Amino acid sequence: MLQSFFIIGMRAPARHITFRRAVVLHILLIACLGWGAANSDTPERLSAVGQVALVLGIVEGASLVGWRLAQLPKSQALEFLLVSPIRPPRVFLAEALVGIGRFALVSLSGLPVLLVMVLQGVIIPADLWPLGLMPFEWGVVAALGLTVWAYEPLSIRRVGEVIAMIGVLFYLIVGILAGEKLQMWITGLPPAIGEWVYVVIMRMFQENPFGVVRNWFILREGPETQWPPFITVNVIGAAMAVAFGLRAAFRLKGHFHDRHYKPLETNRQDQSALIGNRPLSWWAVRRVMEYSGRVNVYLAGGFCLLYSAFIVAGDDWPSWMGRAPFLIFEMWGGPAMVAGSMCVLAAVPAAFQFGLWDPTVSDRCKRLELLLLTDLTGNDYWHASLAAAWKRGRSYLWIAALLWIALAVSGRAQWYQAVAAALGGIALWGFSFAVGFRAFSTGNQAGGIATGLTLGMPMLVFALLRAKLDDLAAFVPTAACYLPVRNGISWSWAAGFVLMLLTTWWLTRRGLARCDSSLRLWFDANQGRKAE
């Protein structure tokens, strides 16, 4: 049974294309990280490279495995398997193993780059464990965790949001505000309790994936001193992956029934008046907000609010509050980097076009079969995609604005530099949306291009800046919101900004003009095509 899932999974043409793109992108990103490691002059910078590699693994795992598994119950074709002799948990586990296998191959494609780093003396052989194994393992954990979150009933997700919000609040207070001053904060407790609280909190902040990677490269006391926390964290990760996988496997059938057969009940007031004259836009917004991602927004917003206060306060920052977490981000690029990251997060829904598009050819055909029978025009599709992308990503732009305002108020950047960075962030969002909508209007998946925009472009900017090619980096779209507050406004930045605006205008105009005809051509070519 398992063999047939692997055969089908590797024969599907669309999965072949996705796999090849993922391999190429992974090799390029690992090569960029290797170049950054080779030019790291301090252990802290090498640690930052290791943590970026860990983030890359988590993002790749969530994209290649978690996204596929989360979309699985949306297809009614799954019903044929659910009523077959194959038990639903076995169906899920087979699909999960196929996805994890493909993710493993993608991860292994970067191994030659890591081996070159070892041969060149950039890293030692033992560093392959945190740079090779941990990104893969925690990518699997993130993927299965994302899947469980998608499969859980709404009531459980709401409870989970409350728990996550408590965790965010704890992190902001203890990990950011207290920071290295934690011992001062707990001096009022009885000595025994205070010591126990301190030990527990420090273990929480040290014995996690990012803490292990940080200590592995910064302490450099020999791998043997880091093996105990490394083993502990990865055993916990393996246990979490097993627990998430089993929970998702036994929730597959229930989640399928919830999506397709459970009666829709609500005690909310009638909202039909809110639909107005654009029902497609209303529907697209509701679709992308099914999983709103509020926890991520609150975490990013809370940290950036505290960081902005730290920037404005400067030397007047209270002595009883921690500075170390903010100084770490100052070392990594400071508020310019954090604000740029928020702009990239805002551009993710704009580039991926979650509002109208579906993950498989068959689902896309079903959607278009209905939409193309209506009087909808390219403008309607454009407005629906725009409304969904803006609703999903606008919060991150407001968060970035906090940092730009703080830089201007504190005097660390001129007001016109902050305004230029804000205009660059808006232009980056518009460019990402234009690229994503152009991919939608031609009937293509925007996944590969969107991944390049949201992961590849920031890496390219980093590499060019490290190579002292600032003028060339200014022509990369991501640099539009980063360089004004890092290097100041230059002619190269202005030229790159104008070029991005012109490209956005051309892509939007072309996408609107050919949207309806291109979608019809794609539908005619793919209707009845063998399922992916």
What whole-number distance in Å separates Cα of residue 123 and Cα of residue 46?
A: 9
Q: Is residue 201 part of a domain?
A: no
Structural domain tally of the chain? 2
Residue 332 lies in a domain: yes
Reduced to 3 DSSP states, what percent helix, strand and coil does the chain have, rounded to the nearest 5? 80, 0, 20
Contact status, residue 32 vs residue 116, Cβ threshold 8 Å: no
For residues 525-530, give the mean pLDDT.
70
62 with 161, same domain: the answer is: yes
How far apart are the two ends of the chain, measured CA to CA in Å?
A: 18
Whether residues 466 and 342 share a domain: the answer is yes
pLDDT at 522: 85
pLDDT at residue 261 in the model: 80
Query: Are 365 and 425 in the same domain?
Result: yes
CA 118 – CA 47 distance, rounded (Å): 16
Q: Is the pLDDT of residue 418 over 80?
A: yes
Instruction: Output the pTM of the full model.
Output: 0.86
- Interval 18-69: pLDDT, tens: 788 889 889 988 998 888 888 877 788 888 889 989 999 998 999 889 988 9
Q: What is the pLDDT of residue 478?
A: 93
256 and 347 fall within a common domain: no
**Residue 79 sits in the same domain as residue 166:** yes
pLDDT at 494 over 90: yes
- Do 423 and 372 fall within a single domain? yes
Choose one of 260, 295, 330: the last residue of a domain. Answer: 260
The answer to the question of residue 270 being in a domain is no
> Which tokens is 463 given?
């590499």
Residue 182 included in any domain: no
Residue 162 domain-assigned (yes or no):
yes
With tokens 């990013």, the residue in question is 300
Question: Do 344 and 485 belong to one domain?
Answer: yes
Looking at the structure, tell me whether residues 252 and 399 fall in a common domain: no
Q: Are residues 254 and 394 in the same domain?
A: no
Q: How confident is the model at residue 223 (pLDDT cuts 50, 70, 90)?
A: low
The pLDDT score that the predictor gives to residue 183 is: 85
Q: Is residue 267 part of a domain?
A: no
Nearest Cα neighbor of 388 from 358, 360, 353 is: 353
Determine the structural domain holding residue 516 and report its residue range: 278-527
DSSP letters for 494-531 = HHHHHHHHHHHHHHHHHHHHHHHHHHHHHHHHHTTPPP
Under 8 Å between Cβ of 367 and 501: no
Please check whether residues 69 and 28 belong to one and the same domain: yes
**Residue 361 reports pLDDT greater than 80:** no
CB 122 within 8 A of CB 31: no
Given a cut of 90, is residue 428 above it in pLDDT?
yes
In the block, tokens 């690229």 appear at 435
* 266 found inside a domain: no
User: Are 428 and 518 in a shared domain?
Assistant: yes
Nearest to 123, CA basis, from 212, 234, 36: 36
How many Cβ atoms sit within 10 Å of the Cβ of residue 426?
15
Other Cβ atoms less than 10 A from the Cβ of 205: the count is 16
- 234, amino acid identity: N
Domain boundary among 260, 294, 324: 260
In this structure, is residue 272 part of a structural domain?
no
* Domain identity same for 72 and 5: yes
